[in-house]
Every structure is written in structure tokens, then in C-alpha cells.
Amino acid sequence: MTDETKNAAPKRKVYSESEIVAKLQEDLPHWRYENGWIRRKYKTHGWKSTLMVINTIGHLAEAAWHHPDIKASYAWVEVILMSHDAKGITDRDFELASKIESVVQWQPGKEAGSLEGTPQSDQRFAYVKYDD
């Protein structure tokens, strides 16, 4: 085995457009496929929340060593994923999208436990505009 072979990225399965659309519908219904990328826009209550969502996504992406493109404005963040090394959508994209989805959409107030979640009725503390 040469040094080049040892350091080469593993060959990843690239999903077809129909497979991607089906997988998104089944597992990530708020995500969409567009122009070779899977995407999701999260709405927030303002700039502070937008920055927290960006930092959360950044942490998850760095820990996963798989980095999305991110677009943002005052009250929204868009995550855009594609595996550049494979030139398409792979399991890495679906898995990171799923992790981002579970963390950003986490609503502790809807779970049994002592964590209440941010008060949505008070705009001073409102955070993400959750999908119900």
C-alpha cells in the first residue's frame, strides 16, 4: 500500500436524485434537495438566536469533520450540505443533517424532565421558531 493509497478518502456511495428525495421525505421532511445539495432553513427570532444556531451547527460540523455551507440573515440560517470529495450526496450528509436537525429542533419543554426550554411567548427569550 502506498502513502497515497493510505491517505486517500474512502469511496462513498453517492445517492441518485430519486434516492435523495425519498430519503429526505422519509427521514428529514423539512430538508429539500436543490442543485446537487440538501438544504434546510431554520427560522429564528432574531440575530442573537441566528448566531447561536450558526455556532451550534459549526460545533457539530467540526466534531463530525464534515463542513456545510451556511447562509444567514437576521432571523434565519440556511444549512447546505454536499460531500465535496464524492461530488454528491452521501451518508455523511444525511447523518450530519440528522444530527443538526435533532439538536437545533430540540425542545426540552416538550419532554418529560426538569428542563423547561426557552419561553416562546416572551420575545426577549424566544429562540428558534420550531417546527411543530
pLDDT digits (tens, 9 = 90+) for 32-67: 999 999 999 999 999 999 999 999 999 999 999 999
pTM: 0.88
Rounded-to-10 torsion of CA 78, 92, 17, 72: 10
Strands (E), 60-103: 69-73, 76-81
Does 110 map to a domain?
no
Closest among 39, 27, 13 to 91, alpha carbons compared: 13
DSSP state of 83: B
Count of domains forming the chain: 1
Rounded to whole angstroms, how far apart are CA atoms 39 and 21? 12
Rounded to whole angstroms, how far apart are CA atoms 57 and 90? 18
Range of the domain at 72: 31-105+124-132
CATH of the domain at 47: 3.30.1360.20
